[in-house]
Amino acid sequence: MIKKMLPLLLLTALVSCNQVEFEAMDVTGLVGEKIDSTYSIARLKKEFMGNKSDSLFFATKVESTSPVIINGIVTSTDTEGNVYKYITIQEEMEGGQAIKLSVDVSGLSSMFPLGQRVAIVCNDLYIGNYAQSTQLGVYYVNLERNRVEPGRMPRLIARKQIKAYGLPAPHEIRPDTMTIAQIRASRGEMVNKLVVIKNAFFTGNGSSSQKRPVRLTDAELIFAPSTNGVGYPQSREIQDGTGSVFVSTSEYAKFATKPLPTSEHRGHITALIGWYNDRDESLYSTSIYHQLTIRTLDDLGKGFEAYHQSIK
């Protein structure tokens, strides 16, 4: 019996030795290589948007004989359905900006997950404004509205122009801490950035057609009631003691019918800063309508523990 066990024991010993002799593989090399930036997002906007940066809708081609490359980390996720056919990337440097990339693909988080670092080859893409909010995409003519705007890039173009590298590192995303007053006072440099607002709470107000707060009925005290297929986002007001702003949610979000937290729940709210202005440009060129987007209910953080427990 002992003789029969010796080969097995020797084999086990050899396997054990081999396991400790191999060094761990560096898996970061399995996903692309970084392409160094040649532009910051601020320079990209300044150089290729020029004096059109305040226009409501337009798109201009990024044309250069040299590579125009920006880098950032993906701060959006569409897993809960409140982000749809776009990703936001944010520069990982002091004072870095963020930008939205419009992509005609559902389930973008499977291609570019939260925390994925990417290099964007901007050459031959179009940069411009949609409702005065800067986007990268393709040339699109909106015949219904008789205007040019950045359109969603097809999957093949997105794969060609957006180069992922390394492994997703969502824990390395660094949102800015801001008050609502600071957000409301900011201009285009903060649009599409991920921020944390502290001591924030939902007031129980929505918005009217004039974007003014109105009291919600009991039936409306959810994130996004149905629009019967029209599809416009629903606005819910939050405050933090310095001001108020609307959080916008799609009726197609997985949490659309979840109850709004009452004003008793106060804490950290993480959100993407949006900027939407679709009014007559000749009359309202300086009018700004900020709106925030929470990506998932997990963006309701510290201070909202009791709320999360109540909706389980």
Domains of the chain: 41-172 (2.40.50), 176-310 (2.40.50.140)
- Show Cβ contacts of residue 283 under 8 Å, excluding neighbours closer than 6 positions: none
Phi-psi region of 231 (alpha: psi -120 to 50; beta: other; left: phi over 0): left
Predicted confidence (pLDDT) per residue in 229-281, tens digit: 788 889 999 999 999 999 999 999 999 999 999 999 999 999 999 998 876 54
Decide if 118 contacts 109 (C-beta within 8 A). no
Rounded CA-CA distance 268/297 in Å is 12
- Show Cβ contacts of residue 60 under 8 Å, excluding neighbours closer than 6 positions: 48, 49, 52, 126, 127, 128
Torsion sign (Cα): 112, 114, 120, 126: positive
Rounded CA-CA distance 111/94 in Å is 27
Residue 265 CA, chain-centre distance (Å), reads 25
Q: Residue 29's pLDDT is what?
A: 46
Q: Residue 53's pLDDT is what?
A: 87
Q: Residue 117's pLDDT is what?
A: 98
Token duo for residue 23: 């060094």
Q: Residue 18's pLDDT is what?
A: 44
Beta bridge partners, 133, equal 130
Decide if 81 contacts 31 (C-beta within 8 A). no
pLDDT in tens for each of the 312 residues of the chain?
A: 444 444 444 444 444 444 444 444 444 445 789 999 999 999 999 999 988 988 999 999 999 999 999 999 999 999 999 999 999 999 999 999 999 999 999 999 999 999 999 999 999 999 999 999 999 999 999 999 999 999 999 999 999 999 999 999 999 999 999 999 999 999 889 999 999 999 999 999 998 766 678 999 999 999 999 988 788 889 999 999 999 999 999 999 999 999 999 999 999 999 999 998 876 544 344 444 789 999 999 999 999 999 999 999
